[in-house]
């Protein structure tokens, strides 16, 4: 991926993953998540994956899924070659560990060290703020059973399916954006405990796969 550093360092584990009761997170909507991202230390000229995860917290799967989707969708950031594949790897690792029942998420050091310029990061965030406020007005607790233990596992399976398909999507116009939107909806459904948003995310996942299949076969 261009505009990144690849030097590795000692990998480290995150904090507790989602509990069996569902997704516990201080982030309840898009606006709150974007505010957390804005507060990343401003003196650093580059923003790493580790910086982002430290800002949103490592306590649950939902915020990680949401951030991966937003980064894939974001202008200037999602357009960086290899960025969708990097986000796919993040989703694949965390979703797989959630399904395996790990109490802590582990990510390799070389992945945590991947970074982009602060300038691109700051320019991309304003593009997300206006739609975030509109989306947040539509969120409410609906079908909460879909966001609990089994719902989060089903969402993890959908995330893995999307992640596995994202690398070839970089060569099919606009399909990576569809995957990013699906990931964002799945993550948002978990953090907001909105099962309807999750169902829409599942539907978009199926539609994205249908488009990719039509282009490949």
C-alpha span between 2 and 75 (Å, rounded): 15
pLDDT per position as a tens digit, 3-52: 443 333 333 333 333 333 334 455 778 888 888 888 887 777 888 889 88
pLDDT per position as a tens digit, 130-152: 888 888 989 999 998 888 888 98
Q: In the beta sheet, which residues pair with residue 46?
A: 117
pTM: 0.81
pLDDT per position as a tens digit, 156-190: 999 999 998 888 777 776 777 888 999 999 999 99
């Amino acid at each position: 991926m261009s505009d990144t550093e690849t030097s590795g360092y000692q990998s480290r584990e995150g904090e507790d993953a989602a509990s069996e009761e569902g997704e516990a997170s201080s982030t309840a909507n898009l606006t709150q998540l974007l505010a957390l991202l804005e507060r990343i230390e401003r003196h650093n000229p580059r923003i790493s994956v580790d910086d982002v995860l430290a800002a949103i917290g490592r306590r649950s799967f939902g915020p990680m899924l949401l951030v991966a989707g937003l980064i894939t969708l974001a202008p200037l950031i999602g357009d960086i070659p290899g960025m969708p594949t990097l986000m796919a790897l993040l989703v694949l690792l965390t979703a797989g560990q959630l399904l395996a029942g790990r109490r802590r998420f582990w990510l390799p050091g070389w992945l945590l060290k991947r970074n982009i310029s602060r300038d691109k990061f700051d320019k991309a965030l304003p593009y997300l703020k206006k739609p975030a406020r509109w989306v947040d007005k539509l969120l409410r607790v609906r079908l909460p059973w879909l966001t609990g233990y089994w719902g989060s596992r089903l969402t993890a399976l959908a995330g893995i399916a999307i992640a596995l398909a994202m690398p070839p999507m970089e060569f099919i116009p606009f399909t990576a954006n569809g995957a990013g939107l699906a990931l964002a909806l799945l993550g948002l459904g978990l953090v907001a405990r909105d099962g309807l948003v999750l169902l829409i995310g599942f539907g978009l996942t199926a539609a994205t796969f249908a488009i990719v299949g039509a282009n490949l076969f």
